[in-house]
Amino acid sequence: MTFYIAPYAPRVIRHMAARNVESARSLALDIRDEGDAYLLSALVPGLKSEDLTIQVLEDTVSVEGEYRREDGEFLLSELPVGPFRRALRLPVALDADKAEAKIEDGVLTLRLPKSESPRPKTIKVSYN
C-alpha cells in the first residue's frame, strides 16, 4: 500500500487519531462457553499485567486499562490510544475465587468458572 502525504495531511492525521481514541475506549472480546467456565479472549498488544484491572462480581466481569504511547508527531496514527473499559454480564454467576487471567503474545485470556448452582437441601422434620 502506498501513502501519499498531501499538504493538508496533518489535519487528516489529527482526524484519524481522534477517531482512534474513540475506538480505543471499548475492548473487543470473544467469549466461549466451555461448559463449567467461560473463556474470554481480547487483544491487548503492548500491555502488561500491571496495565490491566480485572474485576469479577457475581455474574459480571469488567476489564479496564489504558494504551499509552510516546509523545511525538506521527505521519499516521492508527494504533489505539487512551483508556478503555468493558463490562459484561454473563448468563450465570461466576466463581471469582477461581478465575484466572494471563497475557500471552498480546492476547488476554480469562478463564471464568461458573459458580456452583444452589442445590436443594432436604430437611428432616422432627416431631415430639
86 φ/ψ angles, rounded to the nearest 5 degrees: -140, 125
Nearest to residue 64, comparing CAs of 97, 86, 37?
86
Tens digit of each residue's pLDDT, the chain (128 residues): 444 444 444 444 444 444 444 444 678 999 999 999 999 999 998 899 999 999 999 999 999 999 988 888 889 988 888 899 999 999 999 999 999 999 999 999 999 999 986 555 677 888 87
For the chain, list the domains and their CATH numbers: 9-70+77-113 (2.60.40.790)
Q: DSSP code of 1? A: -
* pLDDT on residue 124: 80
- Are 51 and 83 in contact by the 8 Å Cβ rule? The answer is no
- Per-residue cell: 101: 487471567
Q: Distance between CA atoms of 36 and 125, rounded to whole angstroms?
A: 35
- Are 116 and 92 in contact by the 8 Å Cβ rule? The answer is no
Nearest to residue 37, comparing CAs of 65, 64, 56?
56
Q: Distance between CA atoms of 79 and 72, rounded to whole angstroms?
A: 14
